[in-house]
Structure 1
Amino acid sequence: MFAQLIPFLKALPRRILKWYISMPRYAKTILWLWILFEIFLVTVIALIGPSRVAQFLYDNAEKLAQSQFGWLIIGLLIACISFPPLAGHTTLTGLCGYAWGVPTGFYIAAPASLIGAAFAFTTLRLSFRKRLHNFSKTNEKWQALESVISAKGLSLIILIRMSPFPPWVYSNVLFASIGSVALWQFVVATLFVFPKLFLHVYIGSLLAALSDGEQRKHMDTQLKVLNGVLIGGSIFITIVASWFIYTSIQAHIRSLPGIPPEIDELAAEAIEDSEEAPLLTSV
């Protein structure tokens, strides 16, 4: 597994550049606006002070949680960012934990994620059906991926869906681009992502406890350190688990029984080069 890490990291800048070049102009504009917003946000935090910003965020999260339709607003936002080129699924699911805690935050994040993903899948599949058909006829990698998924069915779809690459929003488009994946299979596979969503919500709830000055006053040093360790440990576990799942899936696809090795290799390459998915250049 770790032997593949260095080649993957070396190829990552090229893949990012390739993905950026393939984006439509309006998507690039949205991306740069998001980057500028992040730079502005970091600057504001540095000038005002992390503790004051954290308290401000906590107070407003409390207001959101106490409002009558706060859960609906966040749910709709999670559903909306299921469409590319929008991003922020991890942030919003973490916000559910930050504002509502566990388990309420999960009860908001999970259904909204499932509905948003299913809606994105259906909309893109119906809107670009002709483009998908034409692309599949001429792309060897995509033909291999579709044939492998047709042969192995739901179990393989679940494994690919659990992979962290491509990220959530582009994973939705990837599966919408694979004609052999049915909506019900995509929905079932998405359910297997829920443990990772729960971890996002849990991390958000821990951050909320450290953000509120009143709660921090009642924490001794050991409890503060424990919360920090839990947050760092949860993030570390997420990263390691994601990398393990990704490398395991790639190895599994390359050695599927009953399928020619060259087809397995092309299918694995299609997932690695998921930025070339036919619908990604159309949205």
Structure 2
Amino acid sequence: RTPSPTPSDIEEMNKPVIDWRMFDPRRWLHRKYLPYLILLGLILTLVILMSVYDKQIVKWMTPVSKKLKALPGGWAIPIGILFVISFPPLFGHEIIGILCGVIWGLWVGFGIVAAGTFLGEVGNYYAFKSICSSHGRKLEQNNLSYACLAHIVREGGFWIALVARFSAIPGHFTTAVFSTCGLGIILFSIAAILSLPKQLTVVYVGVLIEEAGNGTVSGREKLISDIVLVASVLITIVAAWWIYDQMAKAKPEVLRNRRRARARK
């Protein structure tokens, strides 16, 4: 017999899919959020500087790009960097993607970023699977959001994994969940490969910066880039909403399983 829900279980089940209180600016003024605010400030500053000084950036990057292109296997350098900054997941992936767009253009740059991203994710998968499996099990017992995501991945398999990869949920976090909740490397690899077009947007930003710096970008190209960026953002938001909705629907079952586990002790 399954024990009745506790008051905390009832409170958890009544929570909305998204806690809108997280968008309250006063909540983010707490000291524990200071590192995130600093990181956000750095990202916004970088974006503004790249928009304002695009011509200077391209001028500075021109000799560097020529040297990298001239190097035998120079394309392997950003692939290696993308792989290294995946252990542990570090900030800078987007910067490398933008630089690849500036130096190699859209399709070659995308191929480089896709290769580095995929190799980094596979490496992360095996790292989490071999080192963090026990930690993942403990996290699943103590963190309800993690437990719900792990539950829907086990139940939905590949399709849940694919949508999660397209969502705004950080890829390294989903990789940790996939590797510790039983998703096989083959299905994980297929989902990772199919979601690689997400990187195309980042590379395209670099292409636009290079064209803007050279004065070759047209109004039509600018319009297309804006549409692509907006569509990419909408896809990630919709995918994330659907994943969170599935997690909310799985919450009663996860809490029920927890009560059963406590009753058996």
Aligned residues with identical type, % of pairs? 18
Quick one: distance in 2 between partners of 1:119 and 1:102? 25
Q: Give the greater-gyration-radius structure (CA).
A: 2
Mark the CA change 1:202 to 1:139 in structure 2 (over 3 Å): closer, same or farther.
closer
Mark the CA change 1:45 to 1:173 in structure 2 (over 3 Å): closer, same or farther.
same
Q: Is the 8 A contact 1:114 1:191 kept in 2?
A: yes
Mark the CA change 1:61 to 1:144 in structure 2 (over 3 Å): closer, same or farther.
same
Q: Deviations 1:34-63 (Å, cap 9, x if unpaired)?
A: 9669859977997xx553333213442333
Mark the CA change 1:68 to 1:44 in structure 2 (over 3 Å): closer, same or farther.
same
Q: Report the alpha carbon displacement of residue 72 of structure 1 after superposing the two structures with TM.
A: 1.1
Q: Report the alpha carbon displacement of residue 117 of structure 1 after superposing the two structures with TM.
A: 0.5
Which residues of structure 2 form unaligned runs of 5+? 1-17, 257-265
Mark the CA change 1:183 to 1:193 in structure 2 (over 3 Å): closer, same or farther.
same
Q: Indicate yes or no: 2:221 matched with 1:227.
A: yes
Q: Deviations 1:6-43 (Å, cap 9, x if unpaired)?
A: x66641468x959x9499xxxx69x9699669859977
Q: Is the 8 A contact 1:80 1:116 kept in 2?
A: yes
Q: Deviations 1:74-100 (Å, cap 9, x if unpaired)?
A: 001111222345122222223222211
Q: Indicate yes or no: 2:198 matched with 1:196.
A: yes
The alignment partner of 1:194 has SS state of: coil
Q: Indicate yes or no: 2:163 matched with 1:169.
A: no
Aligned residues: 238
Quick one: distance in 2 between partners of 1:143 and 1:95? 37
Mark the CA change 1:65 to 1:234 in structure 2 (over 3 Å): closer, same or farther.
farther
Counterpart in the other structure of 1:11: 22
Q: Report the alpha carbon displacement of residue 145 of structure 1 after superposing the two structures with TM.
A: 3.5
Q: Is the 8 A contact 1:253 1:264 kept in 2?
A: no
Mark the CA change 1:80 to 1:170 in structure 2 (over 3 Å): closer, same or farther.
farther
Counterpart in the other structure of 1:152: 156
Quick one: distance in 1 between partners of 2:87 and 2:212? 32
Quick one: distance in 1 between partners of 2:131 and 2:94? 27
Q: Is the 8 A contact 1:96 1:201 kept in 2?
A: yes
Counterpart in the other structure of 2:130: 126
Mark the CA change 1:13 to 1:59 in structure 2 (over 3 Å): closer, same or farther.
farther
Q: Is the 8 A contact 1:58 1:211 kept in 2?
A: no
- Find the partner of 2:65 among 61, 81, 86: 61
Q: Is the 8 A contact 1:75 1:109 kept in 2?
A: yes
Q: Report the alpha carbon displacement of residue 150 of structure 1 after superposing the two structures with TM.
A: 1.8
Quick one: distance in 2 between partners of 1:33 and 1:245? 24
Q: Which amino acid aligns with 2:134?
A: K
Q: Is the 8 A contact 1:93 1:109 kept in 2?
A: yes
Q: Deviations 1:107-138 (Å, cap 9, x if unpaired)?
A: 21112111110101211221122222333345
Q: Which amino acid aligns with 1:57?
A: M
> 1:102-121 to 2 correspondence within 5 Å?
102-121=106-125
Mark the CA change 1:239 to 1:183 in structure 2 (over 3 Å): closer, same or farther.
same
Q: Is the 8 A contact 2:110 2:200 kept in 1?
A: yes
Quick one: distance in 1 between partners of 2:46 and 2:167? 31
Q: Is the 8 A contact 1:82 1:172 kept in 2?
A: no
Q: Is the 8 A contact 2:149 2:247 kept in 1?
A: no
Counterpart in the other structure of 1:91: 95
Q: Is the 8 A contact 1:96 1:204 kept in 2?
A: yes
Quick one: distance in 1 between partners of 2:93 and 2:145? 29
Q: Which amino acid aligns with 2:252?
A: E
Counterpart in the other structure of 1:4: none
When normalised by structure 2's length, the TM-score is 0.71
Quick one: distance in 2 between partners of 1:22 and 1:263? 32
The alignment partner of 1:69 has SS state of: coil
Quick one: distance in 2 between partners of 1:127 and 1:22? 28
